[in-house]
C-alpha cells in the first residue's frame, strides 16, 4: 500500500474487489488491517468517507460492525464522528447502535467514555 501511495495512487478511489463500493480505508477496515488503516489515515484518507452500499457506513461503522476494538479506538482517536456511523433503513445510526445491533457489547464503554449519550434520538 505504501508503495502504491508513494507512486501516486488515489487514496480515495473505490475498489473493484468490493464491488467498487469501498475506498482503501473501508477495505482495510473490513479485513481488520489496523496498520494499513493507520497508514491510509496518515496519508490523508477521509475518515468520514461512506461506503456506497445502502448502509453508507463510515470506517468507524465498519470497524464496529466487524467488532474490531483496535480499529474503533484508532478511528475515535483520529476524530471519527460517532453520531452517524451508518444508516439503518435510511435513518442515521450511531456507533453505539451498531455495537448493540451486531452484539459487540465490549465496544459500548468506548463510546460512553467519549461522551455518547444513550438517550440520543438515534439510540431509541
Per-residue pLDDT tens digits for 51-88: 888 788 999 999 999 999 999 999 999 999 998 888 77
- Rounded Cα distance between 11 and 82, Å, is 23
Cα 66 versus chain centre, distance: 10
Q: What is the pLDDT of residues 79-122, one digit of tens each?
A: 999 988 887 777 888 899 899 999 999 999 999 999 887 765 55
- Rounded Cα distance between 14 and 50, Å, is 11
Identify the domain containing residue 49 by its residue range. 2-123
CATH number for the domain that contains residue 8: 1.25.40.20
Confidence (pTM): 0.85
Residue 90 and residue 56 in contact, taking contact as beta carbons nearer than 8 Å? no
Q: How many CA atoms lie within 13 A of 93 on its CB side?
A: 22
Q: What is the pLDDT of residues 30-48, one digit of tens each?
A: 999 999 999 999 999 999 9
Greater pLDDT, 18 or 44: 44
DSSP H helices in 11-103 = 24-30, 34-42, 59-66, 69-77, 95-102
- Number of structural domains (the chain) is 1
Amino acid at each position: 500500500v505504501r508503495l502504491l501511495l508513494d507512486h501516486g495512487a488515489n487514496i480515495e478511489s473505490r475498489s473493484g474487489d468490493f464491488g467498487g463500493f469501498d475506498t482503501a480505508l473501508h477495505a482495510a477496515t473490513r479485513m481488520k488491517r489496523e496498520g494499513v488503516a493507520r497508514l491510509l489515515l496518515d496519508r490523508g484518507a477521509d475518515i468520514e468517507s461512506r461506503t456506497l452500499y445502502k448502509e453508507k457506513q463510515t470506517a468507524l461503522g465498519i470497524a464496529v460492525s466487524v467488532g474490531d476494538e483496535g480499529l474503533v479506538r484508532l478511528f475515535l482517536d483520529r476524530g471519527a464522528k460517532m453520531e452517524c456511523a451508518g444508516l439503518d433503513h435510511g435513518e442515521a445510526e450511531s456507533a453505539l447502535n451498531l455495537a448493540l445491533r451486531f452484539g459487540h457489547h465490549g465496544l459500548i464503554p468506548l463510546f460512553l467514555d467519549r461522551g455518547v449519550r444513550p438517550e440520543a434520538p438515534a439510540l431509541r
